[in-house]
Amino acid sequence: MLLADDHPVVRRGIAALLSTLEGVELVGEASTGAEAIREAVLVRPSVVVMDVRMPDMDGVEATRRLAAAAPECAVLMLTMFDDDETVFAAMRAGARGYLLKGAAQEDILQAIRSVAAGHVVLGPGVAQRLLDHLSAPAPAAPAEAAFPELTARERQILDLVAAGRNNTAIAAELGLATKTVVNHVTAIFTKLRLASRAEAIVRAREAGLGRTAS
């Protein structure tokens, strides 16, 4: 695991906490977003625990660049900032988790393990506000206008992804093989330059998708 935080005292404190967690090995530290990218590319950690506000390059931009430079590194934002704009920007950038500093040790450990396994993790307050944002009425926008680069089938699948369906459920609903759905999802991520399923859901819901009836 790589830890990126610009405050030395905070970084030492978090590092000391993480050192007590079984199964977590700290392989590097960084004090700026640029350093985080450089270290991640060098040591290839499975998880990067990233602060948001850092000099030189903030954690959101570093996360966006890491998605391209080291896509196998899962980013967990660990920060004091819980405003909507920062949370949504981090998820769009490809973060797999967003946790507030002050979270319980067990929650931090679980979050690290979860993002390393490919899951999306949000702190309780963050998760509720994200759900509120996604469920709020949005101006209707034709899917074709929102994502003209997608085929009709890809837009249909993105709509179901935004509605919370997993690949297996989408395959069953559309009468397709799961492998076919996986291929379509991969094409969608490539065309829209998406780094994670969480980012896909946010982008699609903001465009008016995901209103499919359960």
pLDDT tens figures, 27-84: 999 999 999 999 999 999 999 999 999 988 999 999 999 988 998 999 999 988 877 7
> pLDDT band at residue 142, thresholds of 50, 70 and 90?
very low
The mean pLDDT of the chain is 86
**For 183-206, what is each residue's pLDDT tens digit?**
999 999 999 989 888 899 998 988
Q: Which residue stretches of the chain are H helix?
A: 8-19, 33-43, 59-69, 84-93, 105-116, 124-135, 143-146, 152-162, 167-174, 178-192, 197-206
Give the residue from 92, 113, 133 where a domain finishes: 133
Note whether 123 and 60 are same-domain residues: yes
> pLDDT band at residue 12, thresholds of 50, 70 and 90?
confident
Residue 214 lies in a domain: no
Work out the average pLDDT over 165-192.
92
Residue range of the domain that includes 193: 143-206
pLDDT of residue 143: 46
Give the residue from 133, 157, 182 where a domain finishes: 133
Report CA Rg, the chain.
18
Q: What is the CATH number of the domain that holds 175?
A: 1.10.10.10
Residue 211 lies in a domain: no
- Amino acid residing at 70: A
Note whether 37 and 129 are same-domain residues: yes
In the sheet with 2-4, reading across from the earlier edge strand, the strands are 28-30, 2-4, 47-50, 74-79, 97-100, 121-122
Q: What is the DSSP string of 23-59?
A: T----EEESSHHHHHHHHHHH--SEEEE-S--SSS-H
pLDDT of residue 46: 93
Instruction: Report the number of distinct structural domains present in the chain.
Output: 2
**For 105-121, what is each residue's pLDDT tens digit?**
888 888 998 998 888 88
Note whether 166 and 109 are same-domain residues: no
